[in-house]
Structure 1
Amino acid sequence: MALPKDPRQKMINIMYLVLTAMLALNVSAEILNAFSIVNNSINTSNKSLTDKNNFIYSQFEAQMKENAAKVAPLKAKADQVKKLSTSMFDYIESLKETIINESGGKDEHGEIKDKAGLDAPTRVMENMKKGPELEAKLGQLREQLLTFVEPARKAQFEKTLPLKIEVGKSNDEHGGGPKTWTTYHFNMVPTVAAVTILGKFQNDIKNSESAIIDDLFRQIDAKSIKFDQIAPFISLNSKNLMEGQTLTANIAMGAYSTTVNPVIMVNGKALEVDKGMGTYSIPVSGIGEKTLTGTITFPSPTGGDPIVKNFTETYNVGASTTSISADKMNVLYIGLQNPISISAAGVPAEQVSASISGGNMTKRGSGEYLVTVSQPGKAVINVVATVDGKTKSLGQKEFRVKRVPDPVLKVGANKGGSMKAADFKVQGGLRADLEDFEFEGVKYEVIGYRVGISAKGKEYQEGDATSAYFPGNVAASIRSLRPGDEVYFENVKVKGPDGIVRPMPSTIYKLN
């Protein structure tokens, strides 16, 4: 049987082995007294082990108050170990009492009357078959205790568990072959020696019980990841605030493990983790609310399925606080849908709204508006936001309101002055084009004019147009134009995008 590591227990075992060997030589009073001393030491050791084991059981009770869900399965196993061990301990105690009674009982001092008697142990353990029964029960207890050990550690416990069923190597001196376990331990041994041997088995049971419940108690902490370092963590509701907004800071002490790093995934990307923390960095784009989603996965401390925690976090992207504008370009044009972009740093675009004096504003997207105005002069755009449930003014800006510039009159690509007669004759009418204007696609409509043709050797001819096309009564004259002839346009009227008809200055084309 295995020798426990405790020095006191080692000494008891050595004494037990020495005394057993001496029995083969001579059973003297000194030897019997020595067995009594060893037996008393074993009983004292058993009591100490019982107190130590009871303390571990009390710690299971204390841990149940901290985390019943985690501790309960382990405590249930420990309770079974206690029940099995106590039952076997008591059974052996009953065998000790039976042997003592069979040998004549105890005297008035509680000492065994016939310590040297050889008959009682042999009769009880061999003839009454209590020895084989004990051997079977001890073997069964050993197997039951090993079932409470984690599979990965079972091989180790099979080697070190104190409770073992072994037979010595000595053979029968008469050539009868190897001795049985019962014969080896109890045949023709003094009563005090048999009681001491049974006490030794009780000691093995207590030591084995202690080893198993210590391992079960260890598993309480083994099933937790050791967070052995702490650091302050501060989370702000926003790092971009405006005057009047409320700053909220969540401040806590966070713990992390220096030995076990989690696997952190954010938006499908695995992060590099150091000291339990991963850092996720991306350039942000697009004004408005954005979302981070991911998982944190811890390896299971017991080798089971990993622990997975999901998380979602939102953040807001606002426009840059830097604005660059040309003072002479803050103009709104009558009759057009003027695009305006508005943003406020630290405030989501959906919480921002705007209005204009002397016009209308239509929101067409996040931070984007269309403005229409109708009267020349000035207009003021006011911006407000809903901040912490309250409407707050974010500021205003004044714009000049102007009409769309006059167009340039053209025949073909020419603005007046010299023009080849051949080019003029193939044109169909008079155009009004905007040149170098900020808005693309803004057009003027020519709604009328008077055209006069002065051709050499011919009478002056004129006609009135009601559209951009040349009037029909001068069409033949235009087709016969030659170098040196002149064409006049006067009383020209055009209509712009604001719907207002405006007159244009006269122009002349000299053909060459």
Structure 2
Amino acid sequence: MAAAKLSPRQKMINLMYLVLMAMLALNVSSEVMEAFSKLFDSSEKTIETSVEKNKEILSELKTLSKENPAQYEDLYNTGQKVRELSESLVTELNILKTKIINSVELDEDTGKLPAANMDKSEVLDNYLFSGSGTSKAGKKFIETVTNYKIGMLQLVGNNSAVKNQLETSFNTEGTKVDGAKIPWLNYNFYGLPSIGSLAVLSSMENVVLSVENETLSGFISGRLKKATSANNLEAFVKLNKNTFSPGDNVEATVFLASKDDTKVPNEVKINGTKIDLKNPKNFEDGKIVYKFKAGAVGDRPIVGSFTFVENGKSVVVPVNGNYSVVAGSNQANVSADKMNVVYRGLENPITISMPGISPTKIKASASGLVKKGGSSYMLKPGTGTTVNINVTGTTDSGETIKSPPVTFRIKDVPQAMASIRGEFGSITMPKTSLAKSSIAAALPDFVFDLNLKVLSFKVKVPGKTTVIVNGNRMNSQAQKAIASAKRGDIVTIFGIRASIIGNSSYKLKEVLPISVEISN
């Protein structure tokens, strides 16, 4: 299994375990026995603290499960199973620890274990092993450790750090030494001094409590992490009112909310109606779905409350909203999407709709009008100065409603302006640069983004004959004429003809000229 990130506390426990194994490989001496004793005392103190911490965390899960059953009840039940598994192994470890401690007499002066006299291994050797191998008690101990690991792996979820610790510390499959596989029980306990075995057992208990702590803490932090994750955020827009007239000031409040379908409120009321939270259709993605029919014309409120229980107290979150009901109308809503006029020869986008009538039951007619789909139309006017759009619609009851004609003015595309390097009108530049420049045409501030192509233009240099150029770049004659210009001369680019790319049939007006003052 790939290594996972361990907590600092778990790293300390692992280090103590490694130190212990290394010391067991040394010649047993009174100093080593004393070191074992210190490791045992240190582990026992940590155990006392860990037991209290784990009780507090499980108690917190119990309280949360009562306040928010949908969110925490399953986690609390799983936490209880974790506690039961931990207790089963801790009980077995304490049986072995008690046998070792009861086999010696405590120091009369200090009350501590006589570590120097605990260099024999008979206590656990006789209890865990027999002449044929492992004793009945030893087999039970191995079975308890194995069942603990298997059971915990099923309960810890996706906590990779805890899984790694379980696989590392409670693998009872045996260890290979010089090519031979030594059983786990023999490798860890057979022939070891009693004080060393006592330290190993205490270290194992420490690991069990640490795994329990990491698992229970992960249940709570995992819930909080999910609730605060950006993946659970949803953006909402709240308007200062729900209906507007043209020219009204609109105020919008945009905010983020965390959605969690497991955080079910204890009670929800909307407009005096208590919502049935047991019906899944009423609660989706952490949100209440409230459906109703609109009332009479006018402003209507949407008010109510969410009630949660936290820390034994009710927390009420108010709901304040409104909606507006407007009367139906036989006036079609027709607007030009980009302008208040339409332009001759161009495809002008038009939106046509009628309140309360499906776009499929609306008919619109005008010279050059084509439906694109839904409420979208395209109007390409021809001759004349105005165009009328006539709209009719059919209601669900079969009634035909005819809107008064909507009139649009027809205008020609305005004159384009010549440009060099994106500059219009009168500009200044060196004659060498002008000779290499291309001539472009554009419609600054026009409502349509039209791409224009220059077809030809004329160049007039003071004292020289006007040169006609085909295309958009200076020819050799124009370049020669420009080369003769003096500083301060005004070179005029005029008589420019251009076309619309993709609509070459439309005849644009002659492009406005550009003047260039020679700077050197």
Q: TM-score, normalised by structure 2?
A: 0.44
Q: TM-score, normalised by structure 1?
A: 0.44
